[in-house]
Structure 1
Amino acid sequence: MTPAPFPTADIAERDRAVRVAARTLARAGLAHAYGHCSVRLDAKHFLVCAARPMGLIGVGEAGTVVPVDGPLPDGVLGEVRLHQAIYRSRSEIGAVARTMPPRTMSLSTLRRTPRALHGPGTYFAPGVPLWDDPQLVRTDAQAEAVIAAMGTNAAVVMRGNGAVVAADTLEAMVALTWYLEDAARVDLDVLALEATYPAAVLDIDACRARATRSGRIIERMWEYLSAGDPERHDASASPAVRA
């Protein structure tokens, strides 16, 4: 792992949490050979998972500390620029994932993003932005443009090229990535019938009322998705990893 001015124990714990999140995203079918996730360390640095398929990241396999500003370290994937752009522009963000959710991807080829048709979709109100370009993001200018389109939303969908999700914690980021894909699943199901049965899209007030975190909403989804991971701490003893 790249040396950095942080307590070794703190980096080790963040690294473990990133590995759990990475494998969890893969097990949920939200990433395959491509994708990466990260956690903020401080205002100037974050830690990204190893540059390999997230589901294959091994126990104890180290990630890399990356500066929020400046060139990517050797061996870090090019689209980690998207993480840099988010951490640079949104101080409230503590974790980021770049994934390839299949139904979200299918919907995006229609130039559509998931609507708020059920609970999970409400967390992206007033609507998930679409980056209408299927090309890989390999320059700083491209990354800045994608994240500018994202604005303050929890997600941005890239046409035919997956999605980026950001949240305050790793657990919330994983849960929101799953919510995005579940919203796409419902939207695709509804599209097949919508000519006959118009969809009941939730308005902004309904979304704000429904998009709650009370009742351990995020924690329960995290426990469900990460169950069985070899490096997951017992849920009752492991608080959310925050930046």
Structure 2
Amino acid sequence: MTATPAAQRDLRIAARALARHGLAHAYGHCSVRLDEGNFLVCASRPMGLIAPGEPGTVVPVAGALPAGVLGEVRLHQQIYRRHAHVRAVTRTMPPSLMALGTARRTPRTRHGMGAYFGAGAALWDDPQLVRDDERAAAVIDAMGGANAIVMRGNGVLVASDSLAKAAVLTWYLEDAARIELAVLAAGLQDESVVLDAAERERRATDAGGIFERMWEYLSAGDPEINFQETRA
């Protein structure tokens, strides 16, 4: 199985976007599903340093990781294996989510961007790296039907039905964490309104180019993209 040049390029753009906006540093990775049995993961290096034309690696959904692929890519394997609708995964280290995670907290749905996570992201209460199949399976079990899981002191995993949307949702969840920390710091946790189920459902829309506009913002300035392409 080989990935098309377009898939390779789109993955590089997403990887660099995540790094450019402070959602990942030396650690982190992202991937996109190619077909039922394979996905493409970005190069095993800091995502912001992935060069134009630098290829990712095709990884089987079931089986051993190819040589040189990072151990925590097993998390991607487990998501793709269990959730046929998932087309892309991000594994990042956003600072506000990292801070909340150390307190065994995930952001409450206090603003519009948080509504895309329903009642909230799941929590994995273990700071250890996930480098074996058993632990990776347990993390995805804990994730359940959520589209994100915060890993205590170890970043976050986000899954979605497109690569651009997975990157956007990663930014949204970090923004929800920023809001959560600000509310807590101001002592307003009791006064700050948490959206109810009906409000969340109404607000979590994809109409009106919501995701497209944020993707344009995230990917702007990438060396493999131009302004016209972001508006196509």
- The TM-score, its normalising length taken from structure 1, stands at 0.92
| Deviations 1:174-207, CA, capped at 9 Å, x for gaps | 1000000000000000012335852211111111
CA distance in 2 between counterparts of 1:17 and 1:180 reads 22
| Deviations 1:28-64, CA, capped at 9 Å, x for gaps | 1000000000000000000000000000000000000
Counterpart residue number, 2:136:
143
The alignment covers a number of residue pairs equal to 230
CA distance in 1 between counterparts of 2:181 and 2:202 reads 24
Runs (4+) of structure 1 moved beyond 4 Å?
none
* Conserved 8 A contact 2:183-2:189: no
- The TM-score, its normalising length taken from structure 2, stands at 0.96
Counterpart residue number, 1:235:
230
CA distance in 1 between counterparts of 2:37 and 2:188 reads 50
| Deviations 1:60-95, CA, capped at 9 Å, x for gaps | 000000000000000000000000000000000100
Counterpart residue number, 2:13:
20
* Conserved 8 A contact 2:216-2:231: no
CA distance in 1 between counterparts of 2:151 and 2:188 reads 26
Give the 3 Å change call, closer, same or farther, for CA 196–235 of structure 1 in structure 2.
Answer: closer
More helix by share: 2
CA distance in 1 between counterparts of 2:153 and 2:207 reads 34
Secondary structure of 1:47's counterpart equals strand
User: Which residues in structure 2 correspond to 1:1-243 (within 5 Å)?
Assistant: 4=1, 6=2, 11-194=4-187, 198-232=191-225, 234-237=229-232
Percent identical among aligned pairs is 62
Q: 1:118, CA displacement in angstroms?
A: 0.2
Secondary structure of 1:70's counterpart equals coil
- Output the amino acid matched with 2:16: R
